[in-house]
Structure 1
Amino acid sequence: MTNHEKLLENGQKWVKDTTDKYMLISTLITTVLFAAAFATPETNNDSNIVRLKGYVLVFTIFDGLGLFFSVAATLLFLAILTSPYELLDFLDSLPKKIIMGLFSLFLSLVCMLMAFAATLTLVLDKTMEQVLIPIILLTSFPLTLFGVLQHPLLFQMMKSTYGPSIFPRAIGSEA
């Protein structure tokens, strides 16, 4: 029994530490995207009218979606941090929340970088067209890095949560 208690303690510590770091990142992304929403490119300062055409519309859409996904990730990680960390939570509830939180965090990064690329396209316009494509391609590097580095954790959690169980199902149970 002491072996299970030690595993539970180690699991609780790992989940708290990992979730704390992910929550910090998602909160930073939320802050950046919220601030960017009020600094929409190509605003008309005289009448405070924003022309939602072309890349300004792309920026606005991806900034809003990124804000939605980053707030969702923050709330999911907050739900994990406030979880009671019972033994059964580690089988179903916590892995599902971590999986959804990681997906939301990844989608918020995608949206943030798409909003950045739209803004960059607006700013550089036709004057520096030759550097536009390499810079936009470089914006995909953080996404690739995040995907490669977090893939093993996400794959293992999905496999253990949604894959075949090591526990036999009780006869007649539907859950």
Structure 2
Amino acid sequence: MQREVQWYKGVEKLVPVQATTTMNRDRKTPMMVFEEDHRHMIQSKARWIVSLASACTVSTTIIGTIAFSAAIQVPGKDNGKGHPVLYEGTNFTIFSISNAVALYSAMFTFLIFLSIFTTRYAAIDFLYSLPNRLVIGLISLFVSITSTIIAFGSALYLMFSKESQPRILTPVVIMSFGLVTLFVFLQFPLLLNMMKTTYGQSMFNLLDGRNS
């Protein structure tokens, strides 16, 4: 759908300005005719975007809930002064920062995908508006997932590092990197394709460059 709109905007640059707003005998502008001819494609892509946004919204809600709970119940018991006994050290700083990043990025991701639900899904929205929100939302979701995994690993390290239990820490680190790698493997092709078609040269410009 984005390619179709790019072709429309490319052709629009070649015709006089008044031709883009002139109505035909059916009292329809060129954009109205374009949207009518691509109605089924718009509806199909809108359903796909809504389903993707719904899945990502559920994921960010879970991540935000976990991060908020971890911020309240930090690792280590209270030392009587309102601070956990493990708060002094680099590992606790890593846990705090990564957990805060996970919480804020999850909230930001939720707002981004929430804005997708309120989009009117007009044909012109598929050119930049919707792809931009999807790209930003997926990147923010990756940041929140990565930060959550780092916070979880840091919490386990705080709990077990002093007890010298590498048998517990080593599998945790391996699984953490495995989860991040799996997410990148599953979502990176989609993200790369959207970034290429949104921020790169449009199909119209590519063909124009080849012909020249």
Normalised to the residue count of structure 2, the TM-score between the two structures is: 0.74
Query: Letter of the aligned partner of 2:158 in structure 1?
Result: L
Over aligned residues, Cα RMSD in angstroms?
1.6
Question: Is the Cα contact below 8 Å between 2:64 and 2:107 reproduced in 1?
Answer: yes
Q: Which of the residues 84, 101, 117 maps onto 2:120?
A: 84
SS at the partner of 2:144?
helix
Give the conservation status (yes or no) of the 8 Å contact 2:76–2:159.
no
Residue in 2 that maps onto 1:147: 184
> Any residues of structure 2 matched to 1:5-154 within 5 Å, and which?
5-44=39-78, 46-50=80-84, 51-125=87-161, 126-154=163-191
Which string of whole-angstrom CA distances, capped at 9 and with x for unpartnered residues, describes residues 33-57 of structure 1? 0111001112425332243423111
- Kept after mapping to 2: 8 A contact 1:33/1:67: yes
Q: In the TM superposition, what is the alpha-carbon distance from 1:16 to its structure 2 partner?
A: 0.8
Deviation of 1:3 (Å): 4.3
Q: Which amino acid aligns with 1:109?
A: I
Per-residue deviation, 1:134: 2.9
**How many angstroms apart in 2 are the aligned matches of 1:31 and 1:99?**
23
Identity %: 32
Deviations 1:87-111 (A, max 9, x none): 1111100001000000000000111
Contact 1:42 1:56 in 2 (8 A): no
Higher Cα Rg: structure 1 or 2?
2
Which amino acid in the other structure matches residue 35 of structure 1? S
